[in-house]
Amino acid sequence: MSPLRIIILALLCYILYRLLFSGKKKGKEFPRSASGKAAPPQDVLVEDPVCHTYVPQKQAIRAVKEGKAYYFCSEKCCQTFLADKGEKQ
């Protein structure tokens, strides 16, 4: 038996092994989020109080004001919101 055949055989075994295992593992694989923390449930839409856009909670900019969490589509909206609140009070 030539060494090449052994390598090919090993490769085939490996592929078969991988196929069997990937068949069992049906879980969805999400790319690691920027924040390493445990993410809240996916596909939760939150409203931006500044421009009233709905953004996925995972992607939203979060700001806490007086113990309440607010979500924004962008850093700009977040700044606008915080500045606006400050002026009015």
Enumerate binding residues for Zn ion (CB under 5 A).
48, 50-51, 73, 77
The residue number with the shortest CB distance to Zn ion is: 77
The candidate with the shortest Cα–Cα distance to 71, out of 49, 43, 87, 40, is 49
What's the min distance (Å) between Cβ of 51 and Zn ion? 4
Q: How far apart are CA 31 and CA 9, in angstroms?
A: 33
What's the min distance (Å) between Cβ of 48 and Zn ion? 4
What's the min distance (Å) between Cβ of 20 and Zn ion? 47
What's the min distance (Å) between Cβ of 18 and Zn ion? 44
Q: Which amino acid is at 46?
A: V
Q: Which is nearer to Zn ion, 42 or 59 (CB)?
A: 59
Helices (H) and strands (E) in the chain, counts: 2, 4
What is the b/e burial string over 58-81, where b = at least 16 CB atoms within 10 angstroms of the residue's CB? bebbebeeeeeebbbbeeebbebb
Q: Which is nearer to Zn ion, 28 or 56 (CB)?
A: 56
Q: Which is nearer to Zn ion, 17 or 54 (CB)?
A: 54
